[in-house]
Structure 1
Amino acid sequence: MHYGRVPPQQQGFHLQQKKIIDLASATYGAIQIDAVNTLVADMQPKLKPYQQLKTALIKYRRLARHFKQPLHFELEDSLHPGDSSSVVSQLQRYLDAVNTPIDQAIKPGVKTENIYTDEQS
């Protein structure tokens, strides 16, 4: 609506005009003082959903590098506490990787138990 055909003021909305950014000058200035990374960081939206999307993209790309596609866990039968299955260790490795903070490396090949328990960690 802000840049649409209906003027927001006619509808009772008093929105501020967006600042026009001279990207060419800003980029040239950042190159001159070697601050391109800072410029890019300052230009990114500060909205929480955008930051969450960036974090999710980092996790997705990292998981794609560490696990073959498509990732599929299939059991022949239901598991009960004390049952053993190789799928349990594969699933545990995947869940550990999903929950690893983005600033830490995924530990490859960590051995976990093949026994299912009903304990929540």
Structure 2
Amino acid sequence: MSSFPERLAIARNKLGLTQAQLAEQIGVKSGKQVIYKWEKGQQEPNLSQLVRLAQELNTSVSWLVSDSYDPNLDPTSDKPVAPPGYVVLPADEVIHMQRELLRYQQEGRRE
């Protein structure tokens, strides 16, 4: 499984960000040197920096630091990811549920 430095580089590259751009977005003062050191495993971010990294990289702290793999947390996965509290459903299933809801509402008006 990949480590934090590898996952950080993967997620950053997926978004097409340079180390300098990511550093600016998360507000680290030493700029790209800090991101470089994180990606080389020479330093580690603190918790608040991890949270900002996860937000900017469209992933979670868990995905960045975990040894396990969950495609729902992987920003490099092509699988659609639902925001917390939501689920991802195939379009045909959503259409079916909408039709059922309309049918149910129409039947309720007839009574």
Give TM class, smaller chain: under 0.3
| Normalised TM-score (structure 2) | 0.24
**Structure with more contact order per residue of length (Cα contacts < 8 Å, sep ≥ 6):** 2
Q: Which has the larger radius of gyration?
A: 1
